[in-house]
Structure 1
Amino acid sequence: MWPVIWGALRAYAPYVTFPVALVVGTIGYQLEWFIRGTPQQTKEELSILEKREERALQEAAGRDLTQVISLKEKLEFTPKAVLNRNRQEKS
């Protein structure tokens, strides 16, 4: 009799295992929520981009944004490129 039962279970395995897995999964899901309790609302955190923008706004709040360094002044402090080292500088 056992070989007939095992043969039938092997042939109809998807039809047998799905309801069993469904019952076990449902019981496990309910048991997990019973043990953990109801989930608490977590505080939604700001993304890194939002934090960066917020910090930039706070830094910009205390200074005058119309006063900027001219491009010529900025270029004086930039390092010379490696490829321009062998060229003669204009005096």
Structure 2
Amino acid sequence: MWPLFWMAARTYGPYVTFPVAFVVGAVGYHLEWFIRGTPKPREVKSILELREDRKLEEQEGMDSTQVLSLKEKLEFTPRAALNRNRPEKS
């Protein structure tokens, strides 16, 4: 009799255990929120919104009319890594 019981438990165990675990988990989840109370909705900003806010705060004190010209920007750009071993053209 015991071998038949163990064979049935091994065969049908997942079909019985999953619904039981699901019910226990759902009851525990709702019980926890009942004890804690309802969560307060909070404003969650995305990463892009936080970045835009930070950039706007950085630009508040700066004068937006004073920018580097394109020629000044090009002087400080490093040479490409692939052109380092080639002789420069005169």
Equivalences, count: 85
Correspondence for 1:76: 75
Q: Secondary structure at the match of 1:51?
A: helix
CA distance in 2, matches of 1:31, 1:64: 54
TM score, norm. by length of structure 2:
0.57
Q: Which has the higher contact order (CA 8 A, sep 6+)?
A: 1
Deviation at 1:47, TM superposition (A): 1.5
Question: Structure 1: which amino acid aligns with 2:86?
Answer: N
Deviation at 1:63, TM superposition (A): 0.8
Correspondence for 1:46: 45
TM score, norm. by length of structure 1:
0.56
Correspondence for 2:60: 61
CA-to-partner distance for each residue in 1:16-60, whole Å, 9 max, x for gaps?
x9xx97xx57x8279626752431214222211111111111111
Structure 1: 4+ residue segments shifted above 3 A? none
CA RMSD of aligned residues (A): 4.1
Structure label with greater radius of gyration: 1
Question: Can you give the 5+ residue segments of structure 1 that lack an aligned partner in the other structure?
Answer: 1-16
Correspondence for 2:88: 88
